[in-house]
Amino acid sequence: MASSEEDGGGNGAVEEKENGKKKKKLGALATTWLIFYNVAMTAGWLVLGIAMVRFYIQKGTHRGLFRSVQKTLKFFQTFALLEVIHCAVGIVRTSVLVTGVQVSSRIFMVWFIAHSIKQIQNEESVILFLVVWTVTEITRYSFYTFNLLNHLPYFIKWARYNFFIILYPAGVAGELLTIYAALPYVKKTGMFSLRLPNKYNVSFDYYYFLIIVMFSYVPLFPQLYFHMLRQRRRVLHGEVIVEKDD
Ligand SMILES: CCCCCCCCCCCCC[C@@H](O)CC(=O)SCCNC(=O)CCNC(=O)[C@H](O)C(C)(C)COP(=O)(O)OP(=O)(O)OC[C@H]1O[C@@H](n2cnc3c(N)ncnc32)[C@H](O)[C@@H]1OP(=O)(O)O
């Protein structure tokens, strides 16, 4: 049904018109890179999931779980910064803003909350967002991989566009409860805060910053959730979403 093809601007993608709608067709190099990236990420999150299950079976408790899997988590979640670059260079058809909010909130949770505030690492809410992220990412990256290989099993497609309905709010609950649990420690230690007077003449209070971050979920989370609901309608029910040209 493709009616015309034109150069996509040197980013490995070629633009193709399908039913009057612009759709990017990836070049071989971009496809190979994305397959490698998605296979690596699926494997990384699978390793993390297996490590969590093994830990729980062996120890019978969630205490110490974050500590035991943190290296793998930090590596693969930080690696996901590449997703923002994928959108920016145009090899992936997603908004830089939507991906940027999603990735930066995760990096923030990993490095500036869970890694930095050891006292909260054994909170149940940490395990909640870890489990939710792991299930989400195994599904999401395997979806992208099979999709790129043009062999997408329906149950993976179904899982990608249905699991999030429950997992997204559950993940957000885990993240918000974890930040909330961190507040007393942040207040007590004054970590990452800068009080006046200082040579820069600037003050910054991490405690209030965290409260602002928590409130910022109110406008930002629905945008991500509705974005996913639109993607769900498009992919599972074939609805045409009218998009503005970039
Ligand atoms: C500094 C402090 C910052 C603090 C900010 C505080 C604000 C926080 C508010 C936000 C809260 C977020 C909480 C969150 O962390 C909780 C959770 O994640 S819980 C778990 C549930 N989550 C999810 O299910 C979402 C997971 N994330 C995503 O799906 C994506 O990141 C998202 C950008 C949200 C959506 O993805 P996308 O738009 O890409 O949707 P699609 O999957 O349908 O893909 C669209 C097309 O792009 C192609 N694509 C995308 N990525 C790839 C890839 N890696 N490889 C190959 N192809 C890719 C995809 O195939 C689609 O192509 P086409 O349209 O041609 O079919």
Examine residue 94 and state whether it is found in any structural domain, yes or no: yes
Examine residue 87 and state whether it is found in any structural domain, yes or no: yes
- Of 15, 168, 180, 217, the catalytic one is 168
Domain holding 198, by residue range, is: 28-237
Examine residue 111 and state whether it is found in any structural domain, yes or no: yes
The answer to whether 18 is a known catalytic residue is no
Examine residue 18 and state whether it is found in any structural domain, yes or no: no
The answer to whether 185 is a known catalytic residue is no
The predicted complex's ipTM stands at: 0.94
94 alpha carbon to ligand 1 midpoint, in Å? 8
Examine residue 98 and state whether it is found in any structural domain, yes or no: yes
Examine residue 38 and state whether it is found in any structural domain, yes or no: yes
Examine residue 13 and state whether it is found in any structural domain, yes or no: no
- 32 neighbors 40 (Cβ within 8 angstroms): no
Please tell me if the CB atom of residue 174 comes closer than 6 angstroms to any atom of ligand 1.
no
Examine residue 243 and state whether it is found in any structural domain, yes or no: no
* Count of domains forming the chain: 1
Contacts of 80 (CB under 8 A, 6+ apart): 41, 103, 106, 107
Please tell me if the CB atom of residue 77 comes closer than 6 angstroms to any atom of ligand 1.
no
Q: What is the pLDDT of residues 124-176, one digit of tens each?
A: 999 999 999 999 999 999 999 999 999 999 999 999 999 999 999 999 999 99
From the number of C-beta atoms within 10 Å of its C-beta (0-12, 13-18, 19+), residue 29 rates as exposed
Q: What is the pLDDT of residues 87-97, one digit of tens each?
A: 999 999 889 99
Please tell me if the CB atom of residue 84 comes closer than 6 angstroms to any atom of ligand 1.
no
